[in-house]
Chains A and B, each alone.
Chain A
Amino acid sequence: MRENKTKSVQTTTAEQSRSGDRTPSPAELAWEKNTVQPVLKMNPERRKEFTTISGHPIRRLYTEADLAGFDAERDLGFPGEPPYTRGIHSTMHRGRLWTMRQFAGFGSAEDTNKRFRYLLAQGQTGLSTAFDLPTLMGYDADHGLAEGEVGKCGVSISSLADMETLFDQIPLAGVTTSMTINSPAAVIWAMYLAVAEKQGADWKTISGTLQNDILKEYIAQKEYIYPPEPSMRLVIDTIEFGAKHTPKFNPVSISGYHIREAGSTAIQELAFTLRDGMEYVEWAMRRGMDVDDFAPQLSFFFNAHNDFFEEIAKYRAARRIWHKAMTERYKAKNPRSWAMRFHTQTAGCSLTAQQPYNNVVRTAIQALAAVMGGTQSLHTNSLDEAWALPTEFAATIALRTQQIIAHETGVTNTVDPLGGSYFVEALTSEVERGAWEYINKIDAIGGMVAAIDRNYPQREIAEASYRYQVEVDKKEKIIVGVNDYVVEEQQLEVLQIDETVAHQQAERLKKLRAERSPEEVTRRLGALRKAAEGKDNLMPFLYEAVKVYATLGEICEAMRDVFGTHEEVAIT
């Protein structure tokens, strides 16, 4: 067992005092007695208890009584200054809007390259790549297990040749690229770096984000290949390599998005994600790295669900917790290590297959929460994504939604517009306190890898997800068009991906295998295997292997030989 060297962090005095009883002012008590009670006698409220979508109880009214122990200077501060509750930049969206980064990928590398160039032409400011399931699981497009899945949920990438096509006519020196891939992230990143080199882009200046967050795969999304220990080694290898060679690239995007999609509450999303972040920090420090050498490159990724204020509170609490962890727990000295930067995506699981045009409205409200919560970049889902990957028409509306928020609503005119609201400040502190309770519990188990091993976060999420489903089934929670306001409707026109892509990819792989040097491939894969058995950083070996066109499947297989594979004990 690994020793857990870090002590659990105590909650702040503000949170401690907030957990006690509230003491309303005489004026509030008089209002309650003289104004509220007579109304309640005549007109009872619509329900006994009001809760957020996560089941968190919400009071009728928030007043200064809810901010007892709250110290604005300490708990709120100013934008761009610790504890960053109000945002990580002093001018926030007045200075620079968030990056509008729409996740895209389907079919072949050519198909997605075309969509990328279309989105850039429409004013999108960053790229975000979705890979198909065989790619995410480290199989080539012609592998038996890839049957029926090639190009369906994202773009199919089996080798550097596909990656070259994907970024054809897109200068990597001038665009930031996010890549949503986890188990094989190091391999795909090696391919990206090889394309950058071929284009003549300087590794020191290219920027983007690799998702590369394996912990949330074991917790929620389940796209893992190797057991946790070697998987963590691969992540730390990329962090170490990135700190040295690609200072503008985020090697990990620590993701709560998928945890939330798996059915967690907002507090669970926040707690598990931040504890995952702490786990990466601790493993990197154990590797011998100084926290300030890599922490500024860590980035986060959160969900934006329907409950407007709970989401805003979540983002604000996230920054406060991270600042506390970085300064107190890891003694980081560089302010850039303290400030949590994050990407947001609106909640895929909130989209309804029924009356899909309503999803435009849901997405707009969720996006507004992300913006008012101080996000650095944003993906807005398309109205048809409960059915399929988006059509160009649907993807354009999703991007326009962000542009409308940015340029028409006025919410970007001031920093942290909800700061100081009794409700938002109280909720921010409550969400923070709930997250620390989980973090302390996971510390007590011995860290996140140990907690995953015991199915702790998995079980907490499954419970929350079932609880929510029961509420929806009983109509305690209303979903418009699903369990109320239901109408008969016509099927929407959706994007169809047929098996042509799979055949094309198989042909392309056959040609690639015939044209490359088999000796070079064998030699590089042998070197990789040997390095995997030892302790060296694997990035240089992966880079050499992809450059001689060893395929993703071959490379992942070589590591499977050494690392073995992970099987979970499923809980239901």
Chain B
Amino acid sequence: MPEKKIRVLIAKPGLDGHDRGAKVIARALRDAGMEVIYTGLRQTPEMIASAAVQEDVDVIGLSILSGAHNTICPQLMKLLREKGMDDVTVLVGGIIPGADVPALKEAGIAEIFLPGTSTMDIVEFIQKRMSHN
């Protein structure tokens, strides 16, 4: 049976334009055989949630370096619930102080990847998670 490709939305919320990480991850996931859609810069939570619905993705990867994660993540999770996208796996990559991690996980973020994470670890995490679903 041909396996369905995992669909991932890589999104860059907030005003920050530092997109090196988002682009590297997008390319690494694509090289690992996933279908990757990159939103481009300065996406509001509304725009990201709409794109997730439209593209019918399995995974959303948010790249946040600016410190706005505590505002952005809960907003996005609420919108996803409202749109019936509860089953989508939301990951955050970027600069997230340890003290903020429990609240983000509480809000429904599946995993947080800090600076220095190997792209192979992220690929593996997604593949494992998708095979369990």
Contacts and interface: CB of A to CB of B under 8 A. Distances in A.
Interface in A313-357: 349, 352-354
B67 interface: yes
A42 B20 CA distance: 43
A186 B28 CA distance: 39
Contacts of A137: 15
B23 A462 contact: yes
Contacts of A469: 24, 28, 119
A223 B17 contact: yes
Contacts of A221: 17-18
Given A148-B68, A152-B66, A353-B114, A568 B24 contact: no
B16 A465 contact: no
Contacts of A465: 20, 23-24
B71 interface: yes
A301 B71 CA distance: 33
B79 to A, nearest CB: 14
A570 B68 contact: no
Contacts of B36: 572
A466 interface: yes
B127 to A, nearest CB: 16
Nearest to B70: A148
A570 B116 contact: no
A222 B18 contact: yes
Interface stretch (B48-56, B84-92, B93-101): B93-101
A222 B22 CA distance: 13
Interface string B21-45: 0111011101000001010111010
Nearest to B71: A148
Contacts of A449: none
A388 B97 contact: yes
Contacts of B114: 353
A149 B116 contact: no
B118 interface: yes
B24 A466 contact: yes
A194 interface: no
A146 B41 CA distance: 15
Interface bracket on B: 35 or more
A388 B95 contact: yes
A481 to B, nearest CB: 8
Given A469-B28, A479-B116, A491-B98, A572 B72 contact: no
Nearest to B44: A145
A504 interface: no
Contacts of A405: none
Contacts of B98: 491
A448 interface: no
A352 B97 CA distance: 13
B97 A387 contact: yes
B68 to A, nearest CB: 4
A48 to B, nearest CB: 23
B116 A491 contact: no
Interface bracket on A: 35 or more
Contacts of A473: 118-120
Nearest to A479: B116
Contacts of A567: 40
Given A465-B23, A465-B24, A572-B27, A148 B14 contact: yes
Contact of B15 (A149, A262, A472, A479): A149
Contacts of A352: 115-116
B66 A568 contact: no
Given A149-B67, A387-B95, A133 B20 contact: no
Most chain A C-beta atoms within 10 Å of own C-beta, residue among B17, B38, B98: B17
Contacts of A223: 17
A482 interface: yes
A263 interface: yes
A497 B100 CA distance: 12
A494 B114 CA distance: 15
Contacts of A149: 14-16, 66-68, 71
A491 B99 contact: yes
A134 interface: yes
A145 B15 contact: yes
A456 to B, nearest CB: 16
Interface string B91-133: 0000101110000000000000011101110000000000000
Contacts of A252: none
Given A221-B18, A473-B120, A152 B68 contact: yes
Interface string A87-116: 000000000000000000000000000000
Nearest to A490: B98
A352 B14 CA distance: 23
A222 B41 contact: yes
Interface in A131-162: 133-134, 136-137, 139, 145-149, 152-153
Nearest to A388: B97
A443 interface: no
Most chain B C-beta atoms within 10 Å of own C-beta, residue among A261, A353, A472: A353
23 contacts: A133-B66, A136-B15, A145-B42, A148-B14, A149-B14, A149-B15, A149-B16, A221-B18, A223-B17, A262-B20, A349-B20, A352-B116, A462-B27, A466-B28, A473-B118, A473-B120, A479-B116, A482-B116, A491-B98, A570-B19, A571-B23, A572-B10, A572-B38
Interface of B: 10, 14-20, 22-24, 26-28, 30, 36, 38, 40-42, 44, 66-68, 70-72, 95, 97-99, 114-116, 118-120
Top 4 closest A-B pairs, CB basis? A222-B17, A148-B71, A148-B68, A491-B98
Interface of A: 133-134, 136-137, 139, 145-149, 152-153, 217, 221-224, 261-263, 349, 352-354, 386-388, 462, 465-466, 469, 472-473, 479, 481-483, 491, 494, 496-497, 567-568, 570-572
Given A148-B72, A570-B19, 17 more contacts: A133-B14, A147-B68, A148-B68, A149-B14, A149-B67, A222-B41, A263-B24, A352-B116, A462-B23, A466-B24, A481-B116, A482-B116, A483-B116, A497-B67, A570-B23, A570-B40, A572-B30
